[in-house]
Amino acid sequence: MSLPPLDRLPTPATTTTTRSTTAPAPAPAPAPAPGEAPRVTRTGAATRLTSLNRPAHLVLALLPLLVIGTWAALDRDAWRDGPARLADADPRWLLAGVLFTLLGWVVTAWIRQGALPERLPPGLLMASQLAAGAANLVLPSSIGAHAVTLRFLQGRGIPLARATASLALYSLVKPVARVPVLIFFLLALEDTRALGALAPDRRTLLPAAGGVALCLAAVCLLLAVFRPLRRPVLGFLRTALTDVRILHTRPSRVLALWGGSAAAPVIQGTVIASVGFALGLPLSWTQVVFALLVASTAAGAVPAPGGIGPVDAAMVLTMAALGAPASLATATVIGYRVLTVWIPLLPGTLILSALVHRKVL
């Protein structure tokens, strides 16, 4: 029996009938009219997330009012007596103090850039640091400034671990870079006999050393007992060490981080010296900068919003020990607070509110 030709054999398409199981395509969404914003369909989870974000956004928008009210309550002497004390001051030295205050904000933004490998937009970075300075007046130990900077970095697309590592590096480098500056100004002093009263005794050093040792022991105990903490802590350390290695291969970042951290207290002390010279303070520039370095080193560990209280008192005592009248040293510190806090406070809070409104923070 002969077989039929191959071209006449039936194909599977003609012998079997298949049923399509593909679901019908959804109808396309109607196109927006010209000039109309595109419509975004929200799921239930996204709607709930938006409803939760609204109270947080309202709180952040009201934060500037909280900043002003808190600082007004904590720093009553500055806003009540400061303008009266500065009324008879030399306006030329006060203008110099304002210029050095502005330079200090620029240096702070420069240090923040030096602690991160990515390049940040200079204008927004400067604005975020002005807003961070305003937020820093509410919470102690620079928590407010770090929180605003962390939000800014995350808004720029920096992952949380790397942004946190940048803040940690910033906080670590600043006190380390201050040590050689303090030694330099100590050697530059002509008369160091008055510094004997400022030297800490054993009753002061032992509790401080014990507190540091207790904190380190508590951290080690937490890592040893709670194993879930080890992985994020080790991951954070790996991220931080990687960024440190990358940063120190770039001379511009090294100069910004270490040079800016060493210059920041000198500029801050120059602001105090300018206010003191405007009021007739009988101390040299070297003595005033050294007084700030000693005061910030001795009292900087005390958690106080914006350094109110401990650093101010330590500055007055240090300048008095160097030969300044206590009343004039107090007036200098109060004038310094007016110049560096109350004058930038209003623009800082307005910038903070604007950044929150524009969702930069």
Domain ranges of the chain: 54-197+208-357
Query: What crossing angle do the helices spanning 44-74 and 122-135 adopt, rounded to 10°?
Result: 60
pTM of the model: 0.70
Q: Measuring CA to CA, which residue among 181, 339, 318, 321 is closest to residue 272?
A: 339
Spatial distance between the Cα atoms of 312 and 334, rounded to a whole number of angstroms: 9
Q: Which residues of the chain fall below pLDDT 70? A: 1-85, 137-141, 191-212, 223, 298-309
The number of angstroms, rounded, from the C-alpha of 355 to the middle of its chain's C-alpha atoms is: 15
Quick check: 104 and 270 in contact, CB under 8 A?
A: no
Spatial distance between the Cα atoms of 109 and 125, rounded to a whole number of angstroms: 6
CB atoms within 10 A of CB 260: 24
Per DSSP, the chain holds a count of helices (H) and strands (E) of 15, 0
What letter does residue 32 receive in the DSSP assignment?
A: P
Q: Measuring CA to CA, which residue among 98, 68, 4, 10 is closest to residue 306?
A: 68
**Helix, strand, coil abundance in the chain, percent, nearest 5:** 75, 0, 25
226-243 as b/e: b if 16+ CB within 10 A: eeeeeeeeeebeebbeeb
pLDDT tens digits, one per residue of 104-136 = 999 999 999 999 988 999 999 999 988 888 777
* pLDDT given for residue 298 in this prediction: 67
Quick check: 287 and 137 in contact, CB under 8 A?
A: no
If you compute the radius of gyration of the chain from its CA atoms, what whole number of angstroms results? 30
Spatial distance between the Cα atoms of 111 and 258, rounded to a whole number of angstroms: 8
